[in-house]
Amino acid sequence: MVGESRAGRPKVSSRETLAEAACELFLERGYDATSVADITQRAGVSRSSFFNYFSSKSDVLWSGLDERIGRAIDALAALGTEAAGDDVRGILLLIVRDFTPDALALALRNAAAMGLEGELVRDTGLRHARLSSAVAEAARASGIDVIRADILGAAHAAAVLSSLRVWAEQGAGQVSVESVLRDALGTIHDLPWAI
């Protein structure tokens, strides 16, 4: 029994089991009608186990992407005064590199069925703000004026998040999200990193 939870599931799979249970319930009942208790009961784990992996019900969907965004923000800050557009785009591409269909992709594709449209708009906005701010700060550190830096930040963050949404809606796994993001970053050509 060592290494197994009370419900007999291996501990290493608890995070994935919780995400799977949450998505099933969101599809069956809707996001608002699903509680953390419902998710833990479906997954066969305790409520405290849920909070070992996730800080909230919404975190079930976003935690994987949030980790990637956090690493990107750190990498952007590390660029310092040497930040260049190619460096920034390379870091943003790392956010989606080897991204595979997960709970977020399922939620993006099935937002209406899960009753998640409003939640996803709000939560996407939070990620957009974090990423936009980090890109804008990198631009300012490299000597770009505040307005252009803010515009570059917003455009690049929108490219990342829009690419994930479009990739998921078109059937995550059909094409790589990295190729979708490369195309999206190409549309920012009218906003050059430097003049």
73-122 per-position pLDDT tens digit: 999 999 999 899 999 999 999 999 999 889 999 999 999 999 999 999 99
* Phi-psi region at 50: left, alpha or beta (left = phi > 0; alpha = psi -120 to 50): alpha
Taking alpha carbons only, the member of 160, 159, 151 closest to residue 133 is 151
DSSP 188: G
Instruction: Tell me the pTM.
Output: 0.86
pLDDT of residue 165: 94
Q: Both tokens of residue 160?
A: 């990342």
CB 152 within 8 A of CB 144: yes
Mean pLDDT of all residues in 118-141: 96
Question: Rg of the chain over CA atoms, in angstroms?
Answer: 19
